[in-house]
Amino acid sequence: MKIVVFGGSGLIGDGFVRESLAAGDVTEVVAVGRSPLAITHPKLRSVALTDFTDVSGLADELAGADACFWSLGVSAGTVSAQDYERITYDYAKVAATALASINPDLTFVYVSGGGTDSSEQGRSRWARVKGRTENMVIDMFANGYALRPGFVEPAHGKRSNTFAYRVSSILLTPVFPLLRAVGLGPKLMNSSALMGQAALNLTRNGYRRHVLENRDILAAAGGATDAN
């Protein structure tokens, strides 16, 4: 399989890249981001893109792709409303449109978030924009999926690029064993490695839902019993 990852330098994107590189049935990984990745691997091609509203220059990199794992994004509170919509929705739509024209059967896995508003009618702007993006991906691809993880623990020694998330991870780490002990792990907790495994298994096997909450993600990864 050939996997294209947008946003591979982030916490979840790093999980996508590293789990794909480790998978025996993955022959090539193309990581597209604002700058090349720091890691090297025989299967990996790292591509820097400055303008995500134009992916026409990526024709060779996108050709033959079996899946796209999308983790490119920004926190709503760090940019203007206009920039948030451009980065969250417009960038994803440009790439999805290009990929659909190359391979309409491609698996597109979009990293969304808990609380996303699929109706696009709620009061929270970020949730509406995320919901709009989810709906676009699922409408465009028969094999389109939106992942809504809980708290994502770092794997492979990766740290989040977001300061607030790094602080949260330090504060919450002592609580993780308690959450698991009381049965809340499948509802609230995930990891970047499991996110990568789930995305790969969605490409291999599909899933009976197109919007996957945390329990579904773990089930797709093989880390939990399939959700009811």
Closest CA to 4 of 50, 85, 59, 86: 59
Residue with tokens 């699922």: 138
The Cα 46–Cα 40 span in angstroms is 8
pLDDT of residue 186: 53
What pLDDT score does 154 carry? Answer: 75
pLDDT at 152: 86
What is residue 181's predicted lDDT score, i.e. its pLDDT?
59
Q: CA–CA distance from 168 to each of 151, 154, 179, 183, 184 (Å)?
A: 9, 12, 15, 21, 18
More confident site: 138 or 75:
138
Examine the pLDDT at 172 and tell me if it is beyond 70. Answer: no
Q: What per-residue confidence (pLDDT) applies to 162?
A: 52
pLDDT at position 225 is 39
- pLDDT at position 158: 56
pLDDT band at 156 (very low <50, low <70, confident <90, very high): low
pLDDT for residue 153? 83
134 or 223, higher pLDDT: 134
In the structure, what pLDDT confidence band is assigned to residue 120 with cuts at 50, 70 and 90?
very high
What is the pTM assigned to this prediction? 0.86
For residue 176, pLDDT over 60 is answered with no
- Indicate whether 164 pLDDT > 90: no
Taken in order of first residue, the domains within the chain and their CATH numbers are: 2-221 (3.40.50.720)
Return the pLDDT at 184: 47
pLDDT band per the 50, 70, 90 thresholds, residue 190: confident
Alpha carbons 221 and 109: distance in angstroms, whole number: 13
- Number of CB atoms found within 10 A of residue 168's CB: 13
- Is 163's pLDDT higher than 70? no
Greater pLDDT, 225 or 212: 212
The percentage of the chain sitting over the pLDDT mark of 90, rounded to a whole number, equals 75
Burial of 188 (0-12, 13-18, 19+ CB in 10 A): middle
Q: What's residue 46's pLDDT?
A: 97
pLDDT digits (tens, 9 = 90+) for 36-73: 998 999 999 999 999 999 999 999 999 999 999 999 99
Highest mean pLDDT among 26-35, 174-183, 214-223 belongs to 26-35
